[in-house]
Structure 1
Amino acid sequence: MENANQNAEIHPREEANTLSTGNGNDDQHRELVNSIKEMVESLEPPSLNNSSCCIYKIPTGIRKLNMEAYTPEVISIGPFHHGSKRLETMEKLKLKYFKRFLQRIAFKVEILVNEIKLHEERVRGCYAESIKLNSDDFVKLILVDGSFIIEFFYGLCSRGSQTAIHEDHILIDPISWQTMILDLQLLENQLPLFVIEILFGLACARRFEYRTFTSLAIDLFQRIHSRKLPQNLQVDARHFADLARTFLLPSSRKLVPRHESNLARADHLYTASQLYQAGVKFKVSSSKCLLDLKFTNGTLEIPCIKLYNSTETRYRNVIAFEQCHYPFESHFTDYIVLLSFLINTPKDVDLLIRKGIIINGFGSNNAVASLLNNLGTNVVYDGRNSAYCGLFEDLNAFYENPKHTWKATLKRDYFSTPWRIASTAAAGILLLLTLIQTICSIIQVVKMY
């Protein structure tokens, strides 16, 4: 009993010692615990409106392939490249445009500032990364950049504004003008269209021939891309990179439904040269939309692909935007992956140039093949979810049918030119005559016996 009592007395003491030791550990690691708490508390609260996010930094894996394709050369728009030493010269130009904007509209700056302040948080929410600028500097950036874009676009599009156009040519040399248009389509170099629309509505809508800024932007992009948007297409672009993507897509009625079956995959396709050897005919399509590919009765129709120095930059930024914002509607990415399968060597490029499908502004077939192969590098792509699953399936099935290969070989080797047709016919007649002569000889021999 005594031992039991002693044991009973020991347990509370041991428990107290254990608790004491625990408190000691708490004191020992208190600095680490506080550091972790501060780290967690310093995090920004999650955005309440994640759906508004639409302007992203380029993912590292994509950026490293060609950094220049994602970095503005002449002008910075928005906060991501604001303050770049390389672009300081254009900051002065933007201020000249801002002054011209204020003189044109004769509008109080206070009203513009108050309106932008009301929408500041919504604008900040459009960027995937937090903006380090304080409120006043951020609003100033929006006003200067937004008014510059309005003035610049209006000067290019307005039929009755010869003065503005003349001033643009004085302020901007032709080379910078072309580069600037490209800079305005970079994913990292954007202002949300809705905030430019607010400025336009407050100051310009009653004075300009365009009712909305979006209609002005569409007019300019139609001239840049030499393509009109379908009238029934509802344009809901969030910024210029999104609008550039819209011009590459079909209308909503013609969008190819993405394949939902797990049986079909768009992860293997024979090259253009291989398909041509198997009898596939290549024809330039009359469609102005790059994505309108059709394969019917052994003929693959592909819209004309015009490749110039600016093409890689435009395409790369559209692909990056789809990767970040449209992971399940990446129709242009699907198209680029298809081209990378179809065009693998300069031989494939040469074939499509001869068919009028590719217009090569690079001057080198190697450069075209390299470009189209590299555009899809490090891009997240699921062959089961491609818009072209059906096309992949049909083309591969055509190639793998021996009947088509035999027919193509016969036509290519014996009936491709008038001389070959004549030679084949002569050989056939000679063979027939030889056969007849042989039969006659055999008949004569048989009669003799």
Structure 2
Amino acid sequence: MLSWYLLTLKIREKLEAENQGSEPTRDDWVISITDKLEQADRDDDTTIWGKLCIYRVPYYLQENDNQSYFPQTVSLGPYHHGKKRLRSMDRHKWRAVNRILKRTNQSIKIYIDAMRELEEKARACYEGPLGLSSNEFVEMLVLDGCFVLELFRGAVEGFTELGYARNDPVFAMRGSMHSIQRDMIMLENQLPLFILNRLLELQLGTKNQTGLVAQLAVRFFDPLMPTDEPMTKTDQSKLENYLAGDKAFDPFADMGELHCLDVFRRSLLRSSPKPEPRLSRRRWSRNTRVADKRRQQLIHCVTELKEAGIKFRRRKTDRFWDIQFNNGYLEIPRLLIHDGTFTLSTLFILFLFPGPRIS
């Protein structure tokens, strides 16, 4: 018993000595605290947060559902760059770059130099350390950006017009295109719009193409719209006029730091052809504002409205939020529910209300 006690005592003394040896000195401790405060000061820089626009998915959402928030076919941007399960698409990205260079008779150096100039601005759009060297990051911008633009232009101009075969496994409006489209609106799978704008300017050989990429994106993502009603002829005509060179039409006026997910969101919320007239300032009294606020907060469910005698019918419009009340009928557009509806809704919420990041 005594020997066991002595053995235990020796082990405890040894552990205490090791713990004391590993404890930092007072000077080291003060230095570590200073380093943490300096990092906090850098994190508190408002200019950094003002440029951030491509967020990470919070960890508490990642645990339960990876497929709804992460790309399954293609990676775009640095967050999922180089992941093994997505590497098979890289060869097709290089095909896109090669096709562009042949079509334009340009050198890859032009694109590399242009992306090098925008590297710092592009890095500021992403959250946290990215783990990519300068060369890797620039190569990723060129590769992913050219790939996206080939898809956009192919959807509008036709992939065969760009030189691809009709049965191409990627550059055709069939096969894996639907899964690629879904991946391209993932929150963590975005490229800044100004990167795509610059790459398109290089391809076309003309500057000031701001807005054209957004229009191409709207056409490309049209199959993901939550409605089965086609775009109105007016909207279609305006879009075609813009693509033909009418630069007066730019409903998005993109702000540079935004991306395809935001363009898709804004295309869903585009203005109605016949907006309701606004009240003049003289008529906009305090009582009106209070009543209007109360009216906006009072939302009844369909069951309650039906019990109150309200009738419902389908409203034919390509705007899923365009709800009207006429002669006792609440006219509601049909909303398409598919395998990506939940993902889309959640991505919009995460983009608009990013909140604290727990990763």
Fold agreement, TM-score > 0.5: yes
1:9-158 superposed matches below 5 A: 29-42=26-39, 44=42, 46=45, 48=47, 50-64=49-63, 66-158=65-157
Residue aligned with 2:99, SS: helix
| 1:390 corresponds to | none
* Residues 256, 124 of structure 1: alpha-carbon distance in 2 compared, 3 angstrom cutoff: farther
Residue aligned with 1:69, SS: coil
Unmatched 5+ stretches in structure 2? 1-23, 239-248, 279-287
How far has the Cα of 1:121 moved from its partner? 1.1
Q: Give the conservation status (yes or no) of the 8 Å contact 1:58–1:70.
A: yes
Q: Give the conservation status (yes or no) of the 8 Å contact 2:100–2:203.
A: no
| 2:14 corresponds to | none
**What code does the residue aligned with 2:347 have?**
N
Residue aligned with 2:75, SS: coil
**Count, aligned residues:** 296
* Residues 294, 194 of structure 1: alpha-carbon distance in 2 compared, 3 angstrom cutoff: same
Q: Give the conservation status (yes or no) of the 8 Å contact 1:75–1:180.
A: yes
* Residues 98, 141 of structure 1: alpha-carbon distance in 2 compared, 3 angstrom cutoff: same
Q: Give the conservation status (yes or no) of the 8 Å contact 1:155–1:164.
A: no
1:226-237 superposed matches below 5 A: 226-227=230-231, 230=235, 231=238, 234-237=251-254
* Residues 188, 102 of structure 1: alpha-carbon distance in 2 compared, 3 angstrom cutoff: same
| 2:259 corresponds to | 239
Q: Give the conservation status (yes or no) of the 8 Å contact 2:75–2:81.
A: yes
Relative contact order (C-alpha < 8 Å, sep 6+): which is higher? 2
The CA deviation string for residues 370-390 of structure 1, in whole angstroms up to 9 with x for no partner, is xxxxxxxxxxxxxxxxxxxxx
| 2:10 corresponds to | none
**What code does the residue aligned with 1:227 have?**
M
The CA deviation string for residues 219-243 of structure 1, in whole angstroms up to 9 with x for no partner, is 3234654436844662134211011
The CA deviation string for residues 106-156 of structure 1, in whole angstroms up to 9 with x for no partner, is 212222222111111111111233322111110000000011111222222
* Residues 86, 47 of structure 1: alpha-carbon distance in 2 compared, 3 angstrom cutoff: farther
Unmatched 5+ stretches in structure 1? 1-26, 326-449
The 1-side partners of 2:50 and 2:276 are apart by 23
The 1-side partners of 2:27 and 2:252 are apart by 56
The 2-side partners of 1:56 and 1:87 are apart by 20
| 2:181 corresponds to | 181
* Residues 246, 205 of structure 1: alpha-carbon distance in 2 compared, 3 angstrom cutoff: farther
**What code does the residue aligned with 2:216 have?**
L
Q: Give the conservation status (yes or no) of the 8 Å contact 2:214–2:260.
A: no
The 2-side partners of 1:167 and 1:205 are apart by 27
* Residues 251, 269 of structure 1: alpha-carbon distance in 2 compared, 3 angstrom cutoff: closer
How far has the Cα of 1:197 moved from its partner? 0.9
How far has the Cα of 1:180 moved from its partner? 0.3
1:425-436 superposed matches below 5 A: none
How far has the Cα of 1:69 moved from its partner? 1.1
The counterpart of 1:283, out of the listed 313, 316, 329, is: 313
Q: Give the conservation status (yes or no) of the 8 Å contact 2:214–2:263.
A: no
Percent of aligned pairs with the same residue?
Answer: 27
Residue aligned with 1:307, SS: coil
The counterpart of 1:294, out of the listed 324, 327, 341, is: 324
The counterpart of 1:248, out of the listed 265, 268, 280, is: 268
The 1-side partners of 2:124 and 2:131 are apart by 13
**What code does the residue aligned with 2:270 have?**
P
Q: Give the conservation status (yes or no) of the 8 Å contact 1:63–1:70.
A: yes
How far has the Cα of 1:295 moved from its partner? 3.0
Structure with higher helix content: 1
**What code does the residue aligned with 2:259 have?**
H
| 1:355 corresponds to | none
How far has the Cα of 1:42 moved from its partner? 4.3
How far has the Cα of 1:254 moved from its partner? 4.4
Larger radius of gyration: 1
Residue aligned with 1:67, SS: coil
How far has the Cα of 1:81 moved from its partner? 1.0
The 2-side partners of 1:247 and 1:123 are apart by 24
The range that moved more, 130-139 or 214-223, is: 214-223
Q: Give the conservation status (yes or no) of the 8 Å contact 2:159–2:171.
A: no
How far has the Cα of 1:163 moved from its partner? 5.7
Q: Give the conservation status (yes or no) of the 8 Å contact 1:53–1:126.
A: yes
The 1-side partners of 2:143 and 2:276 are apart by 37
Q: Give the conservation status (yes or no) of the 8 Å contact 2:170–2:177.
A: no
How far has the Cα of 1:172 moved from its partner? 6.0
